[in-house]
Structure 1
Amino acid sequence: MFNFKSGKWIIPISLSALVLGACGEGSNEESSAAEDEGGDIELVYVTWESEVASSNVIGNVLEEAGYDVTLTSIEQAQMWQSVAQGDADGFVAGWLPSDMKHDYERYGDDMVELGPNLEGNRTGLAVPEYMDVTSIEEVTEDNFDEIVGIDAGAGIMSSTEEALEAYDLDITLRSTSDAVMTAQLGEAIENEEPVVVTAWQPHWIFNTYDLRFLEDPEGIYEEEEEIRTMVREGLEEDHPEAYQILDNFYWEAEDMNEVMLDISENEMEPAEAAQEWIDNNRDTVDEWLDTESDS
């Protein structure tokens, strides 16, 4: 996790540690103090490039509003579970309706859904433009050694497992991470070698490389998804201003790409890249911070 005030990364030992960020916030006395003076907010996120960008941006904005924000990187299922149980305050990383549908079905009723913070995103299998392969049906061992995936718990990995079955593909899907996947993709492209990866947009790889999604005749992957903001029950009463800022949070794919590119290509720290975007998009951020008109 990254604590903005200390400027240090802390690796959580267990999910139970998340309880510290939210326990005891329900009393009237603490709710009043939070409303007047900010308070502690913990946001959880999966370590995808897109969610690193969005979580750091909204984290910086909440800091600006007077909150002490902690960002905790966590596995996808635990991200949903921690907010549903009230152990963390929320996340801005809900890829729906399909990519995280199983977690949504299991935990969605136990948290508050604030709607999309970004629309028009999509997932699928992608290849470099120099390849002749155009459809998922052609993802065979004749054309590729394997499919380079990300972490095993990600929704896109479950969808890809479904695709292997639907298209009767005899090829290995290898679990890695976002960072490993992008590194292998870049190496393959540099040598013009065959490569197919689990991919999603927005992601900086589509700005850096000439890539395309493979056609999906069976409709396994959704072409139009959205990223939703989810928060714990009781957050509105405990921290009404933070709740409203999270509810106001909405941006476009090109905004997210700017932050991701600063992190990946300009080698900026996530919080620094987030602040750079905030400083350059003051009007948008001020709209997120405008809680008076919506209260």
Structure 2
Amino acid sequence: MDRYHKITFAILGLMILMNIFYFVRLENKISTQQEQIQMNFGQVLNQSTNSIYREVDSIRESNKWISDVNYDINSDESDHDEVQMELDWSFNEVESDAEISLMYRERESDWIQVEAEHLEGNRYSATLKVTPLKEYEFQIISEGQVSRTSEIQPIPSDLYRPAMLISHEHHSGDDFLIIGFEHEDQRNIPYFDIENITATYQYTDGSNEKKEIVRGELPSVIEDDEGYTVNDPGLYYVVVEPLNDVLEVSLKVEYSGGFVQEGTVYPEDIDFYESFPGKN
């Protein structure tokens, strides 16, 4: 091959390599632009979707007839069989001479109608009497030139039921387990107070043992990784030791109003939390 052909082939090879290089760069640039377009489109779509949701929520809120519903327990007029609740709310609009009432019921039972008291402006209140272990719902009625009824809403049952004992913390070692239980109730209702907690231990040898659990009492001092003791005076402690000898631990929580929460807390605690306090 003469010198001329060699130079020609060299130039052609160089041109092919340059074209491949430019095509690769172009492909990368197109891919980058596509990713940027997709990203921008996703951001615009998310912004548009959020804007639509905000607008729908705003329209829904502005169209609400009832707003700012509050519940309060009248502990002086309540006992372990019947809790008196004060429910108050605001109307976004209401006829000045309309008769306002509230209807409530135990689920699937007959409605009970009570007259509402006018507080001020568009705010009203009504008194309800509920049983701690029942589920209730309510609706509000305005009767004037135009009669209007609110949607049926549930009454939050945790407001008038005993607060449950719940697991708060766990500490374990080679041969022991400590479960700390918490009971928080700011309602100051005496008949919802915990009166007694009994732990029943079932051992692998077939024997049983009952132990009274007292708030803040821990049989031995246990320290965490930072050297702080785990004994919290506000918790109820169940100590499982030695682990190989304990088959099961169950708790019975007795409230002053006669309510009981009972179930297994070791090795599993599912049935304990599914057993909402019932009556003795």
The TM-score with structure 1 as length reference comes to: 0.23
Q: Between the two structures, name the one with larger relative contact order (CA 8 Å, sep ≥ 6).
A: 1
Q: Which has the larger Rg? A: 2
More strand by share: 2
